């Protein structure tokens, strides 16, 4: 059973920054592409960013140039650096492998508000 534990969320003003972390367990972490998803109230979960096992990255158009995904295989951790945050980024953020498995973590709440 794969488990993910997300952390680092919080309340931040527009224009601010946050760094999310996600630790994965029970998987040979280094061979998987890792993803960050988010789900805003009343909306479907959407893919935010993905990083391959070799470090290649892709982003949703809405976050391109503002968010950066990275990974530390030794720590089984994937990060999401979020800069220039906007109210539209408010959501619960989740990580998973690619393709995502059914075992989602509890997520971490990000709220962007003045």
DSSP assignment of 16-84 = --EEEEEEEESS-GGGSEEEEEEE-TTS--EEEEEE-TT--EEE-TTTTTTEEEEEEGGGTEEEEEE-S
For the cut 90, the answer to whether the pLDDT of residue 34 exceeds it is yes
Res. 28: pLDDT tops 90: no
Q: How would residue 3 be classed by pLDDT, with cut points 50, 70 and 90?
A: confident
Question: Are 33 and 99 a contacting pair, CB within 8 Å?
Answer: no
Residue 79 dihedral angles phi and psi, to the nearest 5°: -120, 155
Position 71 scores a pLDDT of: 95
Q: What is the DSSP letter of 102?
A: S
Give pLDDT, residue 69: 98
Judge whether residue 27 has pLDDT over 80.
no
Q: In the prediction, which pLDDT does 103 show?
A: 86
């Amino acid at each position: 059973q794969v488990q993910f534990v997300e952390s680092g969320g919080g309340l931040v003003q527009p224009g601010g920054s946050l760094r999310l972390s996600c630790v994965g367990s029970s998987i040979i972490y280094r061979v998987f592409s890792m993803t960050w998803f988010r789900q805003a109230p009343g909306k479907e979960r959407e893919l935010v960013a993905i990083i391959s096992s070799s470090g290649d990255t892709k982003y949703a158009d809405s976050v391109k140039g503002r968010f950066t995904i990275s990974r530390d295989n030794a720590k089984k951790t994937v990060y999401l650096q979020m800069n220039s945050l906007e109210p539209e980024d408010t959501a619960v953020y989740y990580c998973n492998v690619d393709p995502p498995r059914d075992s989602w973590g509890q997520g971490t709440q990000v709220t962007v508000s003045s």
